[in-house]
């Protein structure tokens, strides 16, 4: 049983933009429209909002559009002022089929996917709209122009990328500056104790660039690996047990680096115990300590998980330079 702590939410600017995003945010991947029922989704979104979370992350591909339908219905019913939260969608993987133009970053799919997401989420505009992956078959200028046009039309407020290389982001920003387009201001990369290099090294020059780069990071707990739950196999009803997630189970538990990571998890848990906290809280708080992280997107299949992870906010002061050094020594040798 996790004690619910009264935490105070922090807000950070999204890169060099004027947008304020809660340091913890909440995403719908695997859970909404798939792993959990709609009443649990509603409880989760309300728990998040009540804790001061102002950013809800979604994508066309999550449960093939159902995650956005579920989130949209909850938002509609909530009565929350539209100005009090941010909602995103992401385009690339598609939600219908994989016929030509139903996936990718062509002008046609970027625009059609935006219209479809607005319909499912029942909102007039997306606060953030991401290119979910790079698309080498489409010129970056075509995608950038489509994003710019959506912003000019008021359908999107800010655009960004997810898992683009630093070179691709820099090129998009350069093209936008040259054409006087709205430039991408945010990237959504994976970041956790076991996945560090891109955020810490590859993107480093972009944080200082004139456009800047906010980061809304995903899988802070490595899909649950950093909770210790996969230490004795795959528990029933966990993400890696969910139907259709076999690919992720193999990726996480059969990767050549898996045994080393699994060996480090109890050592990280011991550090958490010394600090009087839990491993999930430590994992989330560690991400938050990086000043280049605008927001850590939390995922949860149960309300207790979300309330536990929200407690990470109370841990920041305890992560002193010497604790951070200890965590570096444990995680760096096994991290990508
Ligand atoms: P995490 O790595 O934190 O994994 C979340 C999952 O871990 C939960 O659904 C739950 O799974 C388990 N978990 C979380 N907290 C606890 C806890 N305290 N105790 C035990 N188990 C726990 O984050 P996600 O991978 O969900 O990523 C967060 C969000 O980031 C997504 O919802 C999505 O919005 C975004 N994302 C973006 C991607 C991109 O390509 N841009 C890719 C992936 C995610 P369970 O109970 O089922 O085991």
The model carries a pTM of 0.97
Residue 203 annotated as catalytic: no
List of domains in the chain:
4-224+289-312 (3.20.20.100)
Query: pLDDT per residue over 7-50, tens digit each?
Result: 799 999 999 999 999 999 999 999 999 999 999 999 999 999 99
Task: Compute the distance from residue 115 Cα to the ligand 1 centre, in Å.
Answer: 27
Mutate to test the pocket of ligand 1, among 305, 307, 311 (most ligand atoms within 8 A of CB): 305
Q: What is the pLDDT of residues 145-195, one digit of tens each?
A: 999 999 999 999 999 999 999 999 999 999 999 999 999 999 999 999 999
Query: % helix / strand / coil in the chain, to the nearest 5?
Result: 50, 15, 35
Of 117, 219, 244, the one to substitute when testing ligand 1's pocket (max ligand atoms within 8 A of C-beta) is 219
Q: How far is CA 55 from CA 22, 75, 146, 298, in A?
A: 7, 12, 24, 10
> Which residue in the block uniquely carries the two structure tokens 């002008």?
107
More confident residue, 1 or 304: 304
How many whole angstroms separate alpha carbon 280 and alpha carbon 293? 18
Cβ of 57 closer than 6 Å to ligand 1, yes or no, is yes
pLDDT by residue (tens digit) across 179-191?
999 999 999 999 9
| Percentage of the chain modeled with pLDDT above 70 | 98
**Position 210 pLDDT exceeds 60:** yes
Model pLDDT, residue 5: 46
User: Which residue, judged by its Cα, is nearest atom 25 of ligand 1?
Assistant: 219
Give the strand pairing for 11-13 and 20-22: antiparallel
Share the mean pLDDT of the chain. 96
Cβ within 8 Å of residue 241, ≥6 positions away: 234, 235, 249
Sign of CA dihedral 61, 66, 70, 75: positive
Torsion of CA 202, 247, 58, 131, to 10 degrees: 40
Residue in 62, 95, 203, 230 annotated catalytic = 62
Which positions ≥6 away from 97 have C-beta within 8 Å?
none
């Amino acid at each position: 049983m996790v004690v619910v702590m009264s935490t105070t939410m922090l807000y950070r600017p999204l890169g060099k933009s004027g947008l304020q995003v809660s340091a913890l945010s909440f995403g719908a991947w695997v859970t909404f429209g798939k792993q959990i029922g709609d009443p649990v989704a509603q409880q989760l979104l309300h728990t998040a909002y009540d804790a001061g979370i102002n950013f809800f992350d979604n994508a066309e591909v999550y449960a093939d559009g159902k995650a956005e339908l579920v989130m949209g219905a909850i938002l509609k019913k909530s009565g929350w002022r539209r100005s009090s939260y941010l909602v995103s969608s992401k385009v690339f993987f598609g939600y219908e089929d994989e016929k030509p133009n139903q996936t990718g970053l062509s002008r046609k799919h970027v625009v059609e996917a935006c219209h479809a997401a607005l319909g499912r989420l029942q909102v007039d505009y997306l606060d953030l709209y991401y290119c979910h992956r790079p698309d080498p078959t489409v010129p970056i200028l075509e995608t950038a122009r489509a994003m710019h046009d959506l912003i000019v039309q008021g359908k999107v407020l800010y655009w960004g990328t997810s898992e683009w290389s630093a070179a691709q982001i820099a090129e998009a920003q350069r093209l936008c500056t040259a054409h006087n387009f709205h430039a991408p201001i945010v990237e959504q990369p994976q970041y956790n104790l076991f996945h560090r290099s891109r955020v810490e090294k590859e993107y480093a020059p972009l944080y200082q660039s004139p456009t800047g780069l906010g980061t809304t990071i995903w899988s802070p707990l490595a899909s649950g690996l950093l909770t210790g739950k996969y230490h004795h196999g795959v528990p029933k009803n966990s993400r890696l047990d969910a139907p259709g997630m076999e690919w992720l189970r193999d990726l996480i538990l059969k990767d050549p680096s898996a045994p080393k990571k699994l060996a480090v998890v109890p050592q990280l848990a011991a550090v958490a115990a010394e600090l009087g906290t839990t491993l999930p809280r430590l994992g989330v708080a560690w991400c938050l300590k990086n000043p280049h992280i605008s927001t850590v997107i939390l995922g949860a299949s149960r309300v207790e998980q979300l309330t536990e992870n929200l407690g990470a906010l109370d841990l920041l002061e305890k992560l002193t330079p010497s604790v951070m050094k200890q965590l570096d020594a444990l995680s760096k040798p096994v991290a990508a």
